[in-house]
Structure 1
Amino acid sequence: MKLKKVEILKYKSFSTTQTFQVEDDITILVGMNESGKTSALEAMGKTNYFQEDEEFKFNLTHDYPRREKKAIDKAQTIPDAIVTTYEIDDELVEKIEKQLGAGIISNRIFSITTTYDNKSKYAINFDSRKFIDFKTKALGIASAALTEKLKVVNSVEKLNELIGTYSDEKYTQGLKTLEKYYSNAWKWPDAIDEYIVRTFLVPNIPKYLYYDEYYALPSRISIEKLEAGELNDNEFKTAKALFELADINTEEILKADSFEDFIAELEATEAIISDELFKYWQTNTNLNIDFQIDKIASKDQYGNTQIVEHVLDIRVKSKGVSLSLKNRSKGFNWFFSFLVWFKKIQEDKDSKYILLLDEPGLNLHASAQADLLKFLADLSANYQIIYTTHSPFMISSENLNRVRTVLETDSGSQISDSIQEKDPNTLFPLQAALGYDIAQNLYVSKKNLLVEGVSDLIILTAMSSILEAEKRTYLRSDVTIVPTGGLEKVATFISLLRGSSLETVCLLDSYTDPKGKAKMDSLIAEKIIHGKKVRFFHDFLDTHDKADLEDIFTKNDYLKLFNAAYTEYTDISEAALNPAINQIIIQINQHLSIPRFNHYRPANQLTKMAVDASFFDPQTLENFEKVFQEINSLFD
């Protein structure tokens, strides 16, 4: 089961409803300090926390938006806090329908509204008639009249009343076997819906685990205070998790004279954690955790020595030097403590978990944060992860679709997709992440022409040089061609690169994906980019309503490049192509019966052949000149 959408209704800084989609692997909440990122994680965690914890229960006094608290008190109602939407997975659907009938799960999407008294309201859409048909047929007592009567049964009592109307044992005994489906413990209008939710959905709804830097292990743990629950709340939770992982009873330590067995158990646990830790902690791999249990003694008023406290001392050794855990880097402490906390839920094989990480790796160096990203990517194969950050090094420019921005406004915290965000401070980590990635691959100038990929960059650069040699119009020299890595990323690039110091023009293949077009239309509507600054290749071809860059060549010219690049195929002639199709790429794919060929190879062939203008049909040169004339004018 996957979390698909979150709708925060009223919670702390969220005074207006905020909705965001959740990715199947990793979702990132980016925003400034105090923007509401932590509150969003808390609200999710309080819907189904993995253990009993008063800190993760909704509290009307502490959690409801303060400016509206008086009004809700006067209304004397219990308000809703948050709506979480889930999708039932194939395995669970199969399990339900095997017992209750095929087709009963008519809609896999369902939502849970959690209220401030920590109760849940379910919005579902199941077809209980399918259950009736399935069960009565299986019992050999199906009839239209019985189906109609069962439709209004919503309790065991009602079922027994119905059974009482029959004298035939086939009916009475058969219907009696349906009793468990109508127990309706929660008194819902539809007993079958209630049975499905209570029996199948609730046990499979993912539990939430929240973690932030305050859960770090202390260097010295008083076992007496741990036993009495007197440690700092979050330290206590992590310290307790360590002892539970090592399967050590703290009462036994307090009674023991020797601690060797306990230390052996702790070290065995540490070895398991370290194996995973050092897969990703590359900063210093020469570290070892050392556990010591000390007795702290004092003399009483009669001079007698007595043990007043037992302390677990956690130390980290490096090259023969031992330091207490708190004196190692905060980053290492975070990583080690998180794995202790995380291992606690890994032992639970019967539940699904969603990890809520607040500013993970905040104290890690940039390169260590890159290692942490790899760690989270690996975890996301088995867990959905939602984390907050304002570090550009915790954002992968290859996965900007994962980002949701959080902004504090006069009307409360707001959550939106990254391409919709306009606040420069909120966008800064995204711009920095994108800029860092771009800086490693190409320069960005004040004038940028966004294209889809590297093959576009090669072709446009080569054809511009050929036209320049012919003293014809070519692409102006102060324009940098920026490949975005795909048509679907263009809108994100425009959004993140916008600014008064940058000029941006797009030169794109025709859209085939409605989502990409919708994103671009939204940017134009919001005046993030002017519609005239977005040009498509079909704009330069009177004969095409859809076109790619390759269509700017005449078909014969492009086939010369293609045939030279793909010597493994028999040369393709223009006559061999389907004349009913305009786009050369689709024509070639169809001719070869392949889904797609590598566009880079013909583009690269253009540079390898070192051709001049004589290689091309005059129409090709005219088409490219027309493109460059238009693009140059858009930068004037």
Structure 2
Amino acid sequence: MQLAEFRVQNYKIIEDTGWVPVQNLTTFVGKNESGKSAIFRALSKLNPSDGEGYDGLKEFPRQRYAAEITRTDWPVASGRFVLTPDEQRDIAAISELCNEVRSVEVTRHYTGTYSITYHPDVGVDLVTPPDLIYAIESAIEHIRNLIAPEGKGEELGRIKEGLLAFLEEQKGAIPVEGQVHKRHIADLINAIKSRANEPWQHDILDPVTEPMYRLVRQIEIFEGLMAANRYVIEHLPKFVYFDQYNVIESAIHIPTFIATLKSHPDTPGLRATHCLFRHVNLDLDQLDRLGSHKNAVDDNPIIRRQVDERSILLSTASNLMTKKFEDWWGQRKIRFRYDIDGDYFRVWVSDDLDPSEIELEQRSAGLQYFFSFYLVFLVESGDAYQDSILLLDEPGLQLHPTAQQQATRFFERISHQNQIFFSTHSPFMIDLDHLDRVRTVYEGEDGTTKVSVSEWPADRDSLFPLEAALATRIADRTLSGGKQLVVEDTHDLWLLQAMNYVLRSRGKTGLSPDIRITPTGGAANLIPLALMMTAHKKPAAVLLSGHNIPQGVLEKLPSMHIREGSGLLLYSSFVNRQGAGIEDLFSPEFYYRCVKDIYPDLPLGQISEKSPVERNEERGIAHQIADLVERRQGEHFERWRVAELLSDRICESPQNLDDETIDRFSRLFDEINRLI
């Protein structure tokens, strides 16, 4: 069976998730306490691998518990499953009603009972006592109206009298409530038929039993449907739920584990350890007894044989786990060795790169997690690889981001054999190539858990992992892309792109098409970004203004082989103005017109009209305007607004640009192309 949709209701902070479509691999993204774990745990108990049922006292919504828990048998988890062709044939052979059935809907309630709906819908009514009473009354009426063949009146009268008395008696004995059994109806039919000894009697009495035969047929159809229901429940996939609390310890004190398992079986952490012993096929009580015989020093041959058997079991289980984990993991070849030293059970690990054995807890958190999860998966699913759905709650939480991305690719591979749903709030475990697989879990306005299906929620906290994943994708493509020109801010990007358009439209050389312009959000971010680009061994140039550069930036650039004339460009080199920004490459009049449209009350006449040579020590024109805006209007100069308008006007009317501006940008682009 393939799970196509699920629904969770009446569970902890969940009122109703609605129907949530799922695929082979589905990611549930949400912040802490949004309800991801509750969804997974409720769904897992639809057919749990660990055998845990629902506990209304602990899991029914607390605010509704006192008033509602006893009102009805509340539904919790539902799943819509698509049947395989083999399952379709099997179920059609079990129940004639299911010939066209292609999918089923299964719901489990707090009491553990199941309800099943078939698609297309099928159904048959259960035969009730009133149904049987009605059939008997129909038979009585039919008998009263019987007419005997000529010469047979007296004989038929005696038959009618006996049958009417018998049926009245049977009708009176039927309880008002209860189940009608097929055997009871069969007895009635046989009693009626036994009154007929001659052919004419059979001809007269056979129609009397027809209503009862219909009830028998109805019961048989109902029994077939019930058998189909049992088939569906027996063939439901096992749901294997796993979270961080189930990670195994490699050094297990056997007596302590046994005592804890008996006194507090629900203690987190016991589950994987218990699966380990089950996988090894070792009896815990036998282990405890053998622990008192250190390395079988007792000469008792029975004890020695038991210890030898235990050693063989450990060796066999170690080899089996090594082989299975290698096939499943598909990465570095890992070897496990199970060992018992006195009262302690230990797991030792080695690999193909380093044959030295190391305790499991000394290996990476990722290996510990996946070993523990696979162990639980193997044991609780009974090796039923094709019949399990894996619910992983926050897997890879302690892994490095690159390891998290590898884990996601690993999930992709094994999802071809088992459906996998995992929850996360890490952007590194979100596959942006398959956003259709992402379901966002968030808290609704009523405080209950919601799951996005057809639209994203407005809650930014819930969307943040997706935004971060997108930013990571952009950053990765930026850093690993082609040639890079690093600039300080977004307005540099806008104006460079606009002027590139103008130069090309005039038949001049613009920026090389394979150069990407990357704004850093300020000169302070330039060093980290340039270092990352250097690490990716991508050719890059840096374009800076000469104003407000953080101390040390220019000093550190040469260590990255970026210096003026070799990867580093300053706007001041093209306008002979120290501290110049990109706006200084335009004529002041053209730039002032854009400023005036944004700040109509600004007295631009107060800005110095000195010649470029006289203004050599001054800051760029944009910074002068910023001072004027702050001084005269008491607000922050929104440089980006002016740059946006300037960019629009450049593209709308490229002919309005003067030749000096064109020449300055032409020289700038030539130099950028040369450096990169």
TM-score range, shorter chain: 0.5 to 0.7
Which SS does the other structure have where 1:293 is aligned?
A: strand
> How far, CA to CA, are the matches of 2:95 and 2:473 in structure 1?
52
Residues 20, 404 of structure 1: 8 Å contact kept: no
Aligned to 1:248: 282
User: 1:343-399: per-residue Cα shift (whole Å, max 9, x none)?
Assistant: 214544497211111111211222222332232222211211111111122221111
The counterpart of 1:468, out of the listed 502, 505, 510, is 505
> 1: distance between equivalents of 2:437 and 2:236?
22
Per mean C-alpha deviation after superposition, the further-off stretch among 249-258 and 338-347 is: 249-258
Partner of 1:87 in structure 2? 82
Question: How far apart, CA to CA, are the structure 2 residues paired with 1:286 and 1:191?
Answer: 52
* Residues in 2 aligned to 1:89 and 1:249: alpha-carbon distance in whole angstroms: 38
**Is the contact made by 1:326 and 1:333 (CA closer than 8 Å) also made in structure 2?**
yes
Counterpart amino acid of residue 59 in structure 1:
D
Corresponding residue SS for 1:245: helix
Residues 317 and 100 (structure 1), Cα distance of their counterparts in 2 relative to 1, 3 Å cut: closer
Indicate the residue corresponding to 1:237 in structure 2: 271
1:365 aligns with 2:400: yes
- The whole-number CA distance in structure 2 between the counterparts of 1:32 and 1:323 is 36
What amino acid sits opposite 1:78 in the alignment?
Answer: D
Q: What corresponds to 1:120 in structure 2?
A: 114
Match of 1:156 among 179, 182, 188: 182
1:27–1:387 CA contact under 8 A, matched in 2? yes
Judging changes above 3 Å, is the alpha-carbon distance between structure 1 residues 182 and 446 closer, same or farther for their aligned structure 2 residues? farther
Q: Which amino acid aligns with 1:27?
A: T
The answer for the alignment partner of 1:72 in structure 2 is 68
Distance 1:315 1:275, change over 3 A: same
The alpha-carbon deviation at position 25 of structure 1 amounts to 0.5
Distance apart, 1:435 and its partner CA:
2.8
User: Is residue 461 of structure 2 the alignment partner of residue 425 of structure 1?
Assistant: yes
Residue 29 of structure 1 and its aligned partner are, at CA, apart by 1.0
CA distance in 1, matches of 2:503, 2:378: 62
Give the C-alpha shift of residue 245 in structure 1: 1.8
2:40 matched to 1:2?
A: no
Q: Partner amino acid for 1:329?
A: S
Distance in 1 of aligned mates of 2:86 and 2:251: 46
Secondary structure of the structure 1 residue equivalent to 2:375: helix
| Cα 1:58–1:250 shift into 2, 3 Å | closer
State whether residues 181 and 192 of structure 1, in contact with CA within 8 Å, keep that contact through their aligned partners in structure 2: no
Structure whose alpha-carbon radius of gyration is higher: 2
Q: Separation in 2 of the partners of 1:240 and 1:45?
A: 19
Contact 2:80 2:106 in 1 (8 A): yes
Structure 1 residue 40: Cα displacement: 0.1
Question: Residues 105 and 127 of structure 1 are in contact (CA less than 8 Å); yes or no, is this contact kept in structure 2?
Answer: no
TM-score (norm. length: structure 1): 0.56
Counterpart amino acid of residue 195 in structure 1? A
After TM superposition, give the deviation of residue 211 of structure 1 in Å: 0.8
2:290 equivalent to 1:294: no
Deviation of 1:315 (Å): 3.4
Question: Could you tell me how far apart the structure 1 residues matched to 2:381 and 2:77 are?
Answer: 27
Contact in 2 for aligned 1:282/1:371 (Cα 8 Å): no
Given that 1:220 and 1:311 are in contact with CA atoms closer than 8 Å, whether structure 2 keeps it comes out as: yes
**Cα offsets for 1:392-440 (capped at 9, x unmatched):** 2222111111111111234111111374222222112222223323333
Q: Which residue of 2 aligns with 1:439?
A: 475
Answering whether residue 231 of structure 2 is matched by residue 193 of structure 1, we say no
Query: Is contact 2:20–2:451 with CA below 8 Å preserved after alignment?
Result: no
**CA distance in structure 2 between the partners assigned to 1:341 and 1:122 by the alignment:** 29
Match of 1:60 in 2: 56
Contact 1:25-1:384 within 8 A present in 2 as well: yes
Distance in 2, matches of 1:59 and 1:72, equals 15
How many residues get paired?
Answer: 422
2:379 counterpart SS class: helix
Partners of 2:185 and 2:516 lie apart in 1 by 77
Structure 2 residue corresponding to 1:384, chosen from 419, 422, 425: 419
Over the matched positions of the two proteins, sequence identity in percent amounts to: 24
Separation (CA, whole Å) in 2 of partners of 1:348 and 1:321: 30
- Kept in 1: contact 2:28–2:440 (CA 8 A): yes
Report SS of the residue matched to 1:441: helix
CA-to-aligned-CA distance 1:101-137 (integer Å, 9 cap, x gap): 5x7344433323322222222233567699xxxxxxx
- Say whether the 8 Å CA contact 1:211–1:338 is kept in structure 2: yes
Counterpart among 292, 295, 313 of residue 265 in structure 1: 313
Return 5+ residue gaps in structure 2 as ranges: 125-178, 194-201, 291-295, 297-303, 482-488, 492-497, 509-513, 518-647, 653-676
Amino acid at match of 2:450: Q
Q: Which amino acid aligns with 2:339?
A: Q
Tell me which amino acid in the other structure corresponds to 1:7.
Answer: R
Q: Residues 234 and 418 from structure 1, CA distance in 2 versus in 1: closer, same or farther, beyond 3 angstroms?
A: farther
Q: CA separation of 1:158/1:440 partners in 2, compared to 1, >3 Å: closer, same or farther?
A: farther
CA distance in 1, matches of 2:217, 2:388: 29
Question: Which secondary structure state, in structure 2, belongs to the residue aligned with residue 78 of structure 1?
Answer: coil
Aligned position for 2:591: none
Contact 2:104 2:116 in 1 (8 A): yes
Deviation at 1:254, TM superposition (A): 4.0
Quote how far apart the aligned CAs of 1:243 are.
2.2
SS of residue matched to 1:338: helix
2:443, 2:449 within 8 Å by CA — same for their partners in 1? yes
What are structure 1's unaligned runs of at least 5 residues? 131-152, 185-189, 296-309, 448-460, 472-476, 481-628
Deviates more, 1:311-320 or 1:31-40: 311-320
Provide the rounded CA distance (Å) in 1 between the counterparts of 2:224 and 2:317: 46
- Say yes or no: does 1:111 pair with 2:105: yes
Shift of residue 267, structure 1, vs aligned partner: 3.8
Q: Secondary structure at the match of 2:18?
A: strand
Q: Work out whether residues 404 and 418 of structure 1, in 8 Å CA contact, stay in contact via their aligned partners in 2.
A: no
**Whole-angstrom distance in 2 between the partners of 1:72 and 1:110:** 29
- Give the direction of change, closer, same or farther, for the CA distance of 1:217–1:418 in structure 2 (3 Å limit): farther
1:418–1:479 Cα change, 3 Å: farther
**Residue aligning to 2:344:** 311
Report the counterpart of residue 213 of structure 1 in structure 2: 244
Alignment of 1:329 onto 2:379? no
Tell me, yes or no, if the aligned pair for 1:207 and 1:351 is still in contact at 8 Å: no
Q: Given the alignment, which residue of 316, 322, 340 partners 1:274?
A: 322
TM-score by length of 2: 0.53
Q: Contact (CA 8 Å) 1:20, 1:415: kept in 2 or not? A: no
1:204: which partner in 2?
Answer: 235
Alpha-carbon separation, structure 2, partners of 1:375 and 1:159? 59
Note the C-alpha offset of 1:11.
1.0
Distance 2:414 2:314 in 1: 24
* Secondary structure of the structure 2 residue equivalent to 1:114: strand
Cα offsets for 1:74-114 (capped at 9, x unmatched): x643333233222222221122224545x734443332332
* Alignment CA distance shift 1:124-1:154 (3 Å): farther
- 1:275-326 CA distances to partner (integer Å, 9 max, x unpaired)? 454568699x48653433122xxxxxxxxxxxxxx22122345757654333
Q: CA deviation at 1:163?
A: 5.6
Whole-Å separation in 2 of the counterparts to 1:290 and 1:350? 24
**CA separation of 1:479/1:320 partners in 2, compared to 1, >3 Å: closer, same or farther?**
closer
Contact 1:105 1:125 in 2 (8 A): no
Q: CA RMSD in A?
A: 4.7
Distance 1:192 1:99 in 2: 6
Asked if 2 retains the 8 angstrom alpha-carbon contact of 1:421 and 1:427, the reply is yes
Q: Distance in 2 between matches of 1:331 and 1:357?
A: 13
Aligned residue runs from structure 1 range 547-586, under 5 A: none
